[in-house]
Amino acid sequence: MNLTSGQNIALTATALKVALLTPNKPTGVMTDSSLFLLQSNDKIKNDDDFVFFNNPYRHDVGVSFTNEAFEIQLQKIPADITKIVFALTITDGINRKQAFADVNDVEMVLTDSNSQQIIATFPLKTAGMNETALIMGEVYFRNGQWKFRALGKGFVGGLQPLAELYGVDIGEGESTSPPPVAEPKIEVKPQVTPPPPPAEIKSAPSVNLSKVTLTKKGDGISLEKKSKEHGQILINLNWTQGKKSLFGFSKAVDLDLGCLFELKDGRKMCVQALGNAFGSLNSPPYIALDADDRTGQSEGGENLRINGKYWDQIERVLVYAFIYEGVPNWAAANATIKIKTPDQPVIIIDLDSHDNSKGMCAIALFENVNEAIKITKLVDYKNGHQEVDRAYGWGMQWQTGHK
């Protein structure tokens, strides 16, 4: 069922997958999906009710954000949450002078997670829209029934003012200094004990909306520990995968994600689908690749994970992508990696400066520098694994492999 703006439908499914798609988005424009769990006053109860790239899981209420789509278990939604709002924003749209007019069109897709059947779609043409945020739709509870309403409302200002509209406390994600407290005036008299000093005032952490884009080769960032250990490091590769319509796919190149690693004890190897070397998160190398998507149809791309608990055992990791099948066309692939680590800004690296004569790209180097994670953009195109190995000094022997 194709919906139009303002139209609503009753929902019978209790498990939903909700995706906000941008099938014709041009190179250089990035978008973010977000979800707000609202009470009857159209405000969140606390900042955890804002689900987005830096807060992707609310398992306690049956909500998660994985592979660029939301999974919702309606039977777990608490009674005080009466509305779930879905929004799409352009990353840093104002500074980049980008708007939804540049995106061309978007589509919201509701799927029954149990049957995998599409419940409804809401296509929206965005030509002429100068806004950088869209409130796409809402799932709401009324008269004992969950319903969905298509909206498509433009909102000026991007993610921050949109989040603030719904009551989110926006900041840098760290506690701010408390305001000064005036010392009480004490009249000193014999045998009188002065009152205790005022209690320390602590500010609650606010939501961190930050992203960092490494724009040039050699750009880098260092992620220091925010606690006793680094959390899981998620490296997501996403690319244009041959979509011929909003739901149909044509054959695309098989773009694979992988890495070279070197451990502190000197062991060196690779993690990749080629050769079924998928790695392991809880034993050496503490790096694992999700199951390979050989169809080229996964909206979430491919994911490589590093167990930050064991970062002290890792010397360096070189993340790469290569075209297993098809003619190299990096420009058409429009590939990007996102690096997500808990309590850290999301790191964005575009596979730009394309060289279509070569089928492999060394994307980024992760180095252990005094247990901090130093990430450097490479985007260095090579003719295969051996050239990457030689360029970055791994010193391994290679032979032809198959998936």
Residue ranges of alpha helices (H) inside 274-360 are: 330-333
CA distance 34 to 303: 20
| CATH superfamily membership of 212-392 | sav2460 like domains (2.60.60.30)
pLDDT reported for residue 386: 93
- Taking the alpha carbons at both ends of the chain, their separation in whole angstroms is 38
Instruction: Convert the pLDDT of each residue in 248-263 to its tens digit.
Output: 434 456 788 999 999 9
Answer yes or no: are the C-beta atoms of 379 and 363 closer than 8 Å: yes
Residue where the block lists tokens 């689900």: 51
Tell me what the mean pLDDT of segment 33-47 comes to: 95
Report long-range pairs for 121-129 (Cβ below 8 Å, ≥24 apart): 121/1, 121/2, 121/3, 121/246, 121/247, 122/2, 122/3, 122/4, 122/5, 122/150, 122/152, 123/2, 123/246, 124/5, 124/152, 126/100, 126/101, 127/101, 128/101, 129/99, 129/100, 129/101, 129/154
Identify the helix (H) or strand (E) that includes residue 316. Answer: strand 314-325
318: which strand partners? 260, 365
What are φ and ψ of residue 399, in 5° steps? Answer: -145, 165
Give the residue-averaged pLDDT of 95-105.
90
- The β-bridge relationship of strands 279-280 and 57-58 is unpaired
Q: Which of 17-21, 210-214, 245-249, 273-277 comes out lowest in average pLDDT?
A: 245-249
Calculate mean pLDDT across residues 124-138. Answer: 93
Are 252 and 241 in contact by the 8 Å Cβ rule? The answer is: yes
Does the global pTM surpass 0.85? Answer: no
Distance CA 136, CA 107 (A): 9
Residue found under tokens 């690779």:
270
pLDDT band per the 50, 70, 90 thresholds, residue 192 = very low
Residue 291 phi/psi, 5° resolution? -55, 140
Asked whether the predicted pLDDT for residue 187 surpasses 50, the reply is no
Answer for the pair 146, 137: CB distance below 8 angstroms, yes or no.
no
Angle at 278 between CA 368 and CA 290, to 5 degrees: 90
Q: Cis link prior to 285 (omega < 30° from 0)?
A: yes
Q: Which CATH superfamily is domain 8-171 in?
A: sav2460 like domains (2.60.60.30)
Region of poorest pLDDT, from 1-15, 270-284, 337-351, 369-383: 337-351
- Six-digit token string for 284: 């050496």
Name the residue among 230, 382, 249 with its Cα closest to residue 307: 230
At 181, the amino acid letter reads V
* Residue that wins the pLDDT comparison between 401 and 183: 401
User: Using an 8 Å Cβ cutoff, are 142 and 97 in contact?
Assistant: no
pLDDT score, position 300: 61
Mean pLDDT value across the chain: 84
Please give the average per-residue pLDDT across 339-343, as a whole number: 86
Beta strands 336-340 and 346-350, pairing class: antiparallel
pLDDT at 95: 82
Q: Looking at residue 401, what is its pLDDT? A: 60
Quote the CA–CA distance of 355 and 323 in Å, as a whole number. Answer: 13
Q: How far is CA 285 from CA 65, 170, 269, 292, 313, in A?
A: 27, 37, 9, 18, 9
Residues of the chain with CATH 2.60.60.30: 8-171, 212-392
